[in-house]
Structure 1
Amino acid sequence: MTWLRHYRMAEAARRLRSGHESVAEVAESLGYGNSNNFSTAFKAIQGLSPLRYRKMALRREKPV
């Protein structure tokens, strides 16, 4: 179960960095019916909420 959770959160991180889907869409597609549960699980693995993770990832990718 731990491996699966980490895999799902890695996939979530990849999809959040792409910026094409909302957090709710990512959560639902990964099997989370409740986006709050998804956010809690994501933060436990990544250390940031999904929205904050996305914002930080997008800031890093902007050309200087």
Structure 2
Amino acid sequence: MRVAIIGAGVIGLSSALCIHEQFHGLVPSLELEVYADHFTPHTTSDGAAGLWQPYLSDHGNLQET
């Protein structure tokens, strides 16, 4: 079985990895191919990843309900 993944950003590569993990042992002739206009580091996903940052939010003494 041949599977074409369109896009090499976070979603495309995550989809390819998920398909590989789910069907690698079940489909003996599985072939995955990733097609894209741009590959890392020239994708939108590479720029967006730089905008993610952890932060701590302390709202004082809040009671759990």
- The two structures have a TM-score, normalised by structure 1, of 0.28
Larger radius of gyration: 2
Instruction: Choose between structure 1 and 2: higher strand proportion.
Output: 2
Instruction: Choose between structure 1 and 2: higher helix proportion.
Output: 1
